[in-house]
């Protein structure tokens, strides 16, 4: 559940997720085909842009918890 700015993410969970993302998620994404190596801390606005580029007509937040957000994307 990443905020749109670094300041939104400088808290205990954000620090843990940024660390894991840097050492696990981003290298794994770079090792795969595709244009994006996002890692685990991707703000909602970035997901919206990527979903639009992928051809999805609607993108919205379905629900969230203190640690996760679930999005809905439809053609």
What residue ranges do the domains of the chain occupy?
6-74
pLDDT digits (tens, 9 = 90+) for 11-62: 888 888 888 888 888 888 888 888 777 766 788 999 999 999 999 999 999 9
- Measuring CA to CA, which residue among 2, 46, 4, 35 is closest to residue 21? 2
Q: Which two tokens stand for residue 58?
A: 């609607």
What is the pLDDT at residue 56? 97
Beta strands in 1-75, from DSSP E residues, in sequence order = 58-64, 69-74
What is the pLDDT at residue 67? 80
Q: Is the pLDDT assigned to residue 2 strictly greater than 80?
A: no
3-state DSSP assignment of residue 69: strand
What is the C-alpha to C-alpha distance for residues 12 and 66, in angstroms, rounded to an integer? 12
What is the C-alpha to C-alpha distance for residues 45 and 33, in angstroms, rounded to an integer? 23
């Amino acid at each position: 559940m990443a905020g749109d700015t670094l300041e939104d993410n400088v808290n205990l969970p954000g620090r843990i997720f940024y660390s894991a993302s840097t050492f696990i998620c981003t290298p794994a994404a770079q090792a795969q085909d595709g244009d994006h190596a996002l890692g685990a801390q991707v703000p909602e606005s970035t997901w919206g842009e990527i979903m639009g580029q992928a051809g999805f007509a609607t993108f919205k937040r379905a629900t969230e918890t203190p640690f996760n957000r679930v999005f809905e994307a439809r053609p």
